[in-house]
Amino acid sequence: MAISAIPYGRPSDLSAAGVVSEWRGTCSTKHLLLLALVYRKWASLDAALVHRVYTLTKSEAAETWGPGVAACVPDEGLVDVHTYMTVTISGRPATIDVTFPVDEWDGQSSMPIWAQSGEDVEAGSDPLGSKADLVARWCDPIIREPFIAALAANNP
């Protein structure tokens, strides 16, 4: 899936247009771009964004991204908020996660969400605002920001 191949990193313009113009995006901004494309081309898919409040352990970070990213995760883990998309395809609900590169997808079934467990919250009509509220409530910026920077630096 092409959007998943866009390098991970926070664009200065937190929007779908920002992802395209700066050619980088986070889970939130890449899914904003995907949502805009789905609304334009496949409005019948009934797409929506969802935020997942989750805890990442140091060992999960090491297994997923290696020691550089894991070094930014405290021993007790870190709480973050991940954004993904839900759609209805052929009458069935499916999840889509284009945050990181996806090699294959059949276009019908659910993709795995890389933040495997946590509390899901519908993003609503203001996905960036609802995410900012969750981040302010659950995340420690002193821990979270170096983690986000390490993910961006970890691009292949």
147 falls within a domain? no
**Across residues 1-12, what is the average pLDDT?**
93
Strand partners, 56: 78
Q: How many domains does the chain have?
A: 1
Q: Where residue 155 falls among pLDDT bands split at 50, 70, 90?
A: confident
**Across residues 71-85, what is the average pLDDT?**
97
37 falls within a domain? yes
The yes-or-no verdict on residue 78 having pLDDT over 80 is yes
154 falls within a domain? no
Distances in Å between the Cα of 72 and the Cα atoms of 33, 89, 100, 116 are 28, 38, 19, 19
Q: What is the pLDDT of residue 69?
A: 96
75 falls within a domain? yes
Domain extent at residue 48: 2-140
151 falls within a domain? no
156 falls within a domain? no
Of 75-79, 95-99, 114-118, least confident by mean pLDDT is: 114-118
152 falls within a domain? no
**Across residues 2-28, what is the average pLDDT?**
96
**Across residues 43-59, what is the average pLDDT?**
94
What is the reported pTM?
0.94
Reduce the DSSP state of residue 121 to 3 states and report it.
strand
Q: What is the pLDDT of residue 36?
A: 96
**Maximum Cα–Cα distance for the chain, whole Å?**
44
